Amino acid sequence: MVKNNPHIVFMGTPEFAIPSMLAIHHKYGLKAVVTLPDTSAGRGQNLRPTAVKVAALQNNIPVLTPQSLKDPSFIQELQNLQPDIIIVVAFRILPKSVYHIASIGTFNIHGSLLPKYRGAAPIQWSLIHGDTETGLTTFLLNDSVDTGNILLQKKYTIPENTSYGELYQQLMILSVSIALETCDGLIHNTIIPKVQDEKVSSPAPKIFKKHCHISCEQSAKDIKNLIHGLNPIPGAFVSIDNKQVKLLRANHYIGNEEVHCGYFLINTNEFLLGCSDGILSIAELQIEGKPKMKTTDFLRGYRGILHGKVT
Q: Is the pLDDT of residue 272 over 80?
A: yes
For residue 302, name the pLDDT band (cuts at 50, 70, 90): confident
pLDDT one-digit tens code per residue, 188-197: 999 999 999 9
pLDDT one-digit tens code per residue, 1-46: 455 789 999 999 999 999 999 999 999 999 999 999 999 876 767 8
Q: Given this model, what pLDDT does residue 41 score?
A: 75
Q: Which stretches does DSSP call E strand in 27-149?
A: 32-34, 39-41, 46-48, 63-64, 85-89, 105-110, 133-140
pLDDT one-digit tens code per residue, 249-268: 999 999 999 999 999 999 98
Q: Given this model, what pLDDT does residue 2 score?
A: 55
Q: Given this model, what pLDDT does residue 169 score?
A: 98
List, in order of start, the domains of the chain with CATH numbers.
8-200 (3.40.50.12230), 211-309 (3.10.25.10)
Helix %, strand %, coil % of the chain (to 5): 30, 25, 45
Closest CA to 90 of 174, 198, 175, 27: 175
Strand partners, 12: 89
> Is residue 244 exposed (0-12), middle (13-18) or buried (19+ Cβ within 10 Å)?
middle
Q: Is the pLDDT of residue 77 over 90?
A: yes
Q: Which residues contact 302 (CB under 8 A, 6 or more apart)?
A: 266
Contact 78, 101 (CB under 8 A): yes
Q: Is the pLDDT of residue 111 over 90?
A: yes
Indicate the pTM of the whole model. Answer: 0.95
Q: Which residues contact 171 (CB under 8 A, 6 or more apart)?
A: 16, 111, 123, 134, 135, 136, 156
Q: What is the mean pLDDT of residues 50-72?
A: 98
For residue 301, name the pLDDT band (cuts at 50, 70, 90): confident
Whole-angstrom distance, CA of residue 96 vs CA of residue 142? 8
DSSP state of 246: E
Percent of the chain with pLDDT over 70: 98
pLDDT one-digit tens code per residue, 150-165: 999 999 999 999 999 9
